[in-house]
Structure 1
Amino acid sequence: MKHRGRHRRRRRGRALRATLAGTALALTAAATMITTSQATQAEDPGPLKPLTASAETAPLRLTERGVPQDWLDRLSAGMGRPVGVGAVLADPDGTLGDVRDCPADDRRSLPVEPAATRAYCWPDADTDGWRAGAVTTSGDADDDGRWGEHRVVLSGWSHLGAPARDGARATGGGLARVAFVDAGDPAGPRYTWALLAVPVDGGRDYRGLRSTVSGMVWYQDKLLVTAGRADDSALYVYDLDRVLRATVEGRPVGRVDGGWSAAGARYVLPAVASYRTSGAGAPRPGGISLDRSTAPDSLVAHEAAPADRDGPTRLWRYAFDDAPERAGLLATDTVSQASAVAAYETKLTGVRSVLSYRSGWYLGRVTGTPDERGALWRQDTDGARPTRCGADGTHRCWSGQAATLSYWEETGDVWSQSGRTLFALPLASVDRSLD
């Protein structure tokens, strides 16, 4: 049962702040060394342009499709009784490393300005061949910041490369998984892996989610994850009260001789619903995040677009349904369609992360190669400002991969992930860093 309670914000250690500050100072010097041609890649984009014409907003419409209940029941009957988040956290796979003990390459993925106030690195042995993706937290799930008695971060990862095959069974790349991180102990958060899956064959089997986890939002008991183009889905929905246990260790995914396998993970999250795009050429969500400053709460998204595209980028939001029986799902009409309740266009290109809070949209963007530092902008209908750092005021202060953004409103922190580093910093420090 969900237990609500007030949370007293934990104090950060002086040693950690000193370490992060030292890293930031070292990186600031490197960030100032940019060429004139590089600087012109992120000129002032100006204000957001509202999109109101039906021809502009209709392509953003999504159609909700639930996985049949008998499929889910059949899968649970075969794999065993579902468990919840608490049971997963109590069965950890490993522990995150403190940033002070992390390799230099990992520390370099942290933002320069504003500096992280809490940071960890993932073990290389447990993430080799996997690419870090989106982050969401129990601060998204519930306004008291907890799920039951736990404070939790969910970290998404995607396997690199094309899927390897063993007969008809996926065994290699093209998979997605989520780490359940117990954030209650800042000294050494423990984590547990769960494979993201999609039921098939009437619930007699499942396949892995073949998608880069570029966006992820945990709202109430549902986890919404961006999907790839493999089956024209925009989002998949997972029920965090319906986690299943894998019973066979190994690389295959799905039903195997002797039980159920999950590419090395000991838990499986089967999708319970999906949202499909409105047709060929419709924009697809890239990054997503939760906005608790709207009424009702809303899911915001930026358009997934190639890094080399010169045109503008679309931003939009969907309202969450406030009916208790549709907890965690988007608001839909009588034909199960979710329409955007607001949409905008930004001149920023290379957008890779999005966060909306009150009137501001925070957009992380790539500014060069993956090894170069990114930029973080705050934009609204009045104008745009980037975070700045260094003697020449460069705005290349953010993580190189324009890392995911998730605002934990109860603590005031933004959680993000870049490379093998998971970190947090106050949203207020982002606003103070704006030009």
Structure 2
Amino acid sequence: MKHRGRHRRRKRGRALRAFLAGTAIALTAAATMISASQATVAEDLGALKPVTSSAETGKLRLQEHLVPRRTLDRLAGAMGRPVGVSAVLDSADRTLLDAADCTSAERESLPAAPGAAHAYCWDPSDSATPDWRPASVTTSGDADDDGLWGANRVILAGWTHSTTSGPAAERGLARVAFVDADDPARPAYGWVLLVVPTADGRDYRGLASHVSGMVWYQDKLLVTTEAGDSDALYVYDLNRIQRTTVDSPAIGKVPGGWSADGYRFVMPAVGTYRFPAGRCSASGPPCPGSLSLDRGSAPDSLVMSEWTPADSDRHARLWRYDFSRDPARSGLLATDPAGRVDAVEAYETRAAGIRGVLAHHPPGTTRTAWYVGRQADSPDGRGSLWRQDSAGAKAARCGSDATHHCWAQGAGPLSYWQETGEVWSLSDRMLFSVPLSSIDSSLG
């Protein structure tokens, strides 16, 4: 599908916002009291500290490596003409369940405050498999500024398979749920397996990486990678989704056609961004954590956070890269003639265990508010959500007291849908949205 130029459909946006405001649901989690073991006084994360030294910003530099077009075309020639997002949506065979139809355990994973406006649990055929877990989210609100891809509202959720349990052939694999969100009362979804083409374009392998971050911008999908080397991001083209022809546990070319562990669609990587400085470490490049899109910057930019353990006392980094304005490089980052990508802004934060990051520009101001969702102190506890800038930090509170462990269990990514004012995220069990205005109102 050819990517459409940007345009706003203001009437549609206003109608959609009104619909969302009128259908906000009352969720059990919003009334859940936080246990005494979680009721701690919020620590002060303080102000963001700008990172300006060339020695430190140089560690954030990326090198672009695009897969040759002839390689991709050879694979497509062998597999058949690529399809687009609409083909996946038309084949959707799963249904998201409204929160009212989910189990109490699933609902309890939602934020206690602020409450969710929309919330869904996954089809039982997927939620009953503990080896697969959702870890990242992006939407057609990122892809195009009118919030639509073609005629559809779409949500993408990245899932990762455990590396230590389940069938050996599936360990570490990554897949994406393509959610048709046109009907908020009954969203349907289908799966696409992320793969990497071989150098000669005659085969592919599964992407073995934890996709903790994901951004859909124009016709590209950028995902974080933890493949154990210097790769920071993999790049996928939404116009190069391929159908498989053989239903088998194998991944790649098989007798009689193409297989992907039973999935009907695969999406081959079209490029990577790597840290020339080497593998991520405390003294080197950061370990990529979460991603989001900032449409308020000029040009639009990719926002990233560094992953550090929740109990770490090391200051994590937050930074951004510009997207290219070249129409021939749709969805790719801005590079210099040598293919290098430099961070255009970077900060240190005292937050650790960051699972979600968002940069937003409040109307009428020149400042940038950075939102960070933090992992819980315990595996079954709630995370916390903070807003930081160069002046200080505030946390979302659970009512009038100082308790700030109010966010979702297994707190996940943050993705802002500009046309509706929603922030989409994931708990360890559910997909949900919260109005950004509600988040700001809950800040202590």
Q: What are the equivalent positions in structure 2 for 1:108-127 lying under 5 Å apart?
A: 108-127=108-127
Residue in 1 that maps onto 2:40:
39
Q: What's the Cα RMSD here?
A: 1.8
User: Residue 379 of structure 2 corresponds to which residue in structure 1?
Assistant: 370
1:414 aligns with 2:414: no
Offset from partner CA, 1:241-275 (integer Å, 9 cap, x none): 11000111122211112111112211000000100
Give the corresponding residue for 1:90: 90
Distance 2:200 2:272 in 1: 16
The Cα offsets for residues 332-388 of structure 1, whole Å up to 9 and x where unpaired, read as 111101000000000111111100111100000113122100000000000000000
Instruction: Tell me how far apart the structure 2 counterparts of residues 343 and 194 of structure 1 sit (CA, whole Å).
Output: 33
Relative distance call for 1:397 and 1:14 in structure 2 (3 A) is same
Letter in structure 1 aligned against 2:387 = R
Alpha-carbon distance in structure 2 between the residues aligned to 1:235 and 1:382: 31
Where 1:87 maps in the other structure, the secondary structure is helix
1:338 matches 2:336: no
Structure 2 distance, partners of 1:295, 1:15, is 34
What's the counterpart of residue 195 of structure 1? 193
Give the alignment partner of residue 17 of structure 1, picking from 25, 30, 37: 25
What amino acid does structure 1 have at the position aligned with 2:47?
Answer: P
Question: Is 346-355 or 315-324 further displaced after alignment?
Answer: 346-355
Q: Give distance in 1, aligned partners of 2:80 and 2:222.
A: 24
The SS at the match of 2:25 is helix
Q: How many Å separate the matches in 2 of 1:60 and 1:116? A: 35
Count the aligned residue pairs: 423
Pairing 1:323-402 to 2, within 5 Å after superposition: 323-358=326-361, 359-390=368-399, 392-402=401-411
Equivalent of 1:149 in 131, 135, 151: 151
Q: Where does residue 302 of structure 2 map in the other structure? A: 299
Give the Cα–Cα distance (whole angstroms) in 1 for the partners of residues 220 and 210 of structure 2: 19
Could you tell me which amino acid in structure 1 is paired with residue 352 of structure 2? T
Deviation of residue 2 (structure 1)? 4.9
1:324 is displaced (CA, Å) by 0.2
Q: In 2, Cα distance between the equivalents of 1:308 and 1:210? A: 27
Q: Give the TM-score normalised by structure 2.
A: 0.91
Out of 160, 177, 180, the residue aligned to residue 178 of structure 2 is 180
Where does residue 263 of structure 1 map in the other structure?
261
Q: Which amino acid aligns with 1:384?
A: A
| Residue 319 (structure 1) aligns with | 322
State the distance in 2 between where 1:186 and 1:259 align: 37
Q: Percent identity?
A: 55
Contact 2:310 / 2:377 at 8 angstroms: preserved in 1? no
Equivalent position amino acid for 1:379 in 2: Q
Other-structure match for 1:75: 75
1:220-231 aligned at under 5 Å gives the runs: 220-231=218-229
Segments of structure 1 that go 5 or more residues without pairing to the other structure are none
**Matching residue of 1:244:** 242
- Cα distance change on mapping 1:389 and 1:330 into 2, 3 Å: same
